[in-house]
Amino acid sequence: MQKEEIISKINNFLIEEFEIEPTQLVPDASLKDTLGIDSLDFVDLIVIIERNFGFKVKGEDFVDVKTLQNFYDYIISKVATD
Protein backbone atom coordinates (compact mmCIF):
# COMPACT_ATOMS: atom_id res chain seq x y z
CA MET A 1 0.00 0.00 0.00
CA GLN A 2 1.35 3.39 -1.01
CA LYS A 3 1.81 6.27 1.42
CA GLU A 4 -0.80 8.42 -0.35
CA GLU A 5 -3.30 5.56 -0.26
CA ILE A 6 -2.77 5.08 3.49
CA ILE A 7 -3.24 8.81 4.17
CA SER A 8 -6.37 8.88 2.03
CA LYS A 9 -7.80 5.86 3.86
CA ILE A 10 -7.05 7.45 7.25
CA ASN A 11 -8.63 10.76 6.23
CA ASN A 12 -11.72 8.98 4.91
CA PHE A 13 -12.40 7.08 8.12
CA LEU A 14 -11.73 10.18 10.25
CA ILE A 15 -14.32 12.07 8.19
CA GLU A 16 -16.86 9.23 8.14
CA GLU A 17 -16.48 7.70 11.61
CA PHE A 18 -15.58 10.77 13.67
CA GLU A 19 -17.39 13.44 11.62
CA ILE A 20 -14.25 15.54 11.26
CA GLU A 21 -14.34 18.31 8.67
CA PRO A 22 -11.93 17.70 5.76
CA THR A 23 -10.49 21.20 6.25
CA GLN A 24 -9.28 20.17 9.73
CA LEU A 25 -7.17 17.32 8.34
CA VAL A 26 -3.82 19.06 8.21
CA PRO A 27 -0.60 17.31 9.28
CA ASP A 28 0.05 19.50 12.33
CA ALA A 29 -3.52 19.16 13.68
CA SER A 30 -3.61 17.89 17.26
CA LEU A 31 -5.65 14.68 17.47
CA LYS A 32 -7.00 15.69 20.85
CA ASP A 33 -7.33 19.47 20.70
CA THR A 34 -7.98 20.18 17.01
CA LEU A 35 -9.76 17.01 15.92
CA GLY A 36 -11.50 16.36 19.24
CA ILE A 37 -10.48 12.71 19.53
CA ASP A 38 -10.79 11.76 23.19
CA SER A 39 -9.81 8.62 25.09
CA LEU A 40 -13.04 6.80 24.18
CA ASP A 41 -12.53 7.69 20.51
CA PHE A 42 -9.04 6.19 20.68
CA VAL A 43 -10.60 2.80 21.48
CA ASP A 44 -12.78 3.09 18.36
CA LEU A 45 -9.78 4.32 16.39
CA ILE A 46 -7.77 1.23 17.34
CA VAL A 47 -10.58 -1.07 16.18
CA ILE A 48 -10.83 0.83 12.88
CA ILE A 49 -7.05 0.68 12.36
CA GLU A 50 -6.95 -3.06 13.01
CA ARG A 51 -9.88 -3.64 10.64
CA ASN A 52 -8.54 -1.40 7.84
CA PHE A 53 -4.83 -2.12 8.02
CA GLY A 54 -4.67 -5.64 9.45
CA PHE A 55 -2.27 -5.23 12.37
CA LYS A 56 -2.70 -5.20 16.15
CA VAL A 57 -2.26 -1.86 17.89
CA LYS A 58 -0.62 -1.67 21.29
CA GLY A 59 -1.69 1.18 23.58
CA GLU A 60 1.91 2.14 24.31
CA ASP A 61 2.46 2.72 20.57
CA PHE A 62 0.12 5.70 20.81
CA VAL A 63 1.99 7.51 23.60
CA ASP A 64 3.90 9.73 21.16
CA VAL A 65 1.06 10.10 18.63
CA LYS A 66 -0.06 13.68 19.21
CA THR A 67 -0.62 15.13 15.73
CA LEU A 68 -2.23 13.86 12.57
CA GLN A 69 1.25 13.61 11.00
CA ASN A 70 2.41 11.41 13.92
CA PHE A 71 -0.64 9.25 13.28
CA TYR A 72 0.08 8.99 9.53
CA ASP A 73 3.73 8.12 10.26
CA TYR A 74 2.73 5.47 12.80
CA ILE A 75 0.34 3.72 10.39
CA ILE A 76 2.77 3.98 7.47
CA SER A 77 5.61 2.48 9.53
CA LYS A 78 3.42 -0.38 10.80
CA VAL A 79 2.06 -1.20 7.33
CA ALA A 80 5.61 -1.18 5.96
CA THR A 81 6.94 -3.54 8.66
CA ASP A 82 3.97 -5.89 9.16
22-44 pLDDT, tens per residue? 999 999 999 999 999 998 998 89
Q: Considering only CA atoms, which of 6, 15, 17, 1 is closest in space to residue 71?
A: 6
Cβ pair 75, 50 in contact under 8 A: no
Residue 18 has pLDDT above 80, yes or no: yes
**Max Cα-Cα span within the chain:** 31
Q: Who wins on pLDDT, 61 or 82?
A: 61
Where are the chain's structural domains?
3-81
Distance CA 41, CA 2 (A): 26
Q: How confident is the model at residue 68 (pLDDT cuts 50, 70, 90)?
A: very high
User: From the centroid of its chain, how far is CA 56?
Assistant: 14
pTM for the whole thing? Answer: 0.90
What CATH number should be reported for the domain whose range is 3-81? 1.10.1200.10
